[in-house]
Amino acid sequence: MPRALSHYDQAGRARMVNVTAKTPSKREAQASAFVRMNSRVLHALPNNPKGDPLEVARLAGIMAAKRTAELIPMCHPLPLSYVDVQIRLCENGVAITSKVATTAITGVEMEALVAASVAALTVYDMCKALDKAMEIQQVRLESKSGGKSGDFQRVGSSSGGSSRPPKRRQAPK
């Protein structure tokens, strides 16, 4: 039987979960995203007149993780003890991974996902003048540890993101 969604009360209204009675513990989460772009945009990255898009995106991801509770209505504000965003070039785009840690009463999955998402959006923003058809793909939680629900590791993942997402299937005609 599936668990009930905890962000709703018995009347079906959205609510912030009461975590007052929980004990602080070490919690970590990793997330990833991928920005698919053509080779022309990839080759232009070092010469972007707005600055280094990958470094700007890395910093944007770190800053975003720290503001997650302001962006996602039911997230608790957390004292983050570590945020890292790594970005690497691949033959068909940019792979982004984020890692967030805290010692708190609730997890940091959303903070890791927001960091990866905002980093991907920043890459798009800094490169959109060259190609508006870039795609942000595969924003996903790779792993989490700590807390009552235990550990999670995405099957088939090394928590390092995807350097080559699967080819998109053609829709049947």
Question: Tell me: the pLDDT tens digits for 123-162?
Answer: 999 999 999 999 999 999 999 999 888 899 999 864 443 4
Does the active-site annotation cover 131? no
Q: Is 113 among the domain residues?
A: yes
Q: Which pTM was predicted?
A: 0.84
Task: Please give the residue range of the domain that contains residue 82.
Answer: 38-146
9 Cβ contact partners less than 8 Å away, ≥ 6 residues apart: 15
Residue of 84, 125, 131, 151 marked active site: 125
| 88/139 Cα distance (integer angstroms) | 15
Q: Is 152 among the domain residues?
A: no
Q: Is 131 among the domain residues?
A: yes
Q: Could you read off the pLDDT of 106-116 as tens digits, one per residue?
A: 999 999 999 99
Number of domains in the chain: 1
* CATH at 115: 3.30.70.640
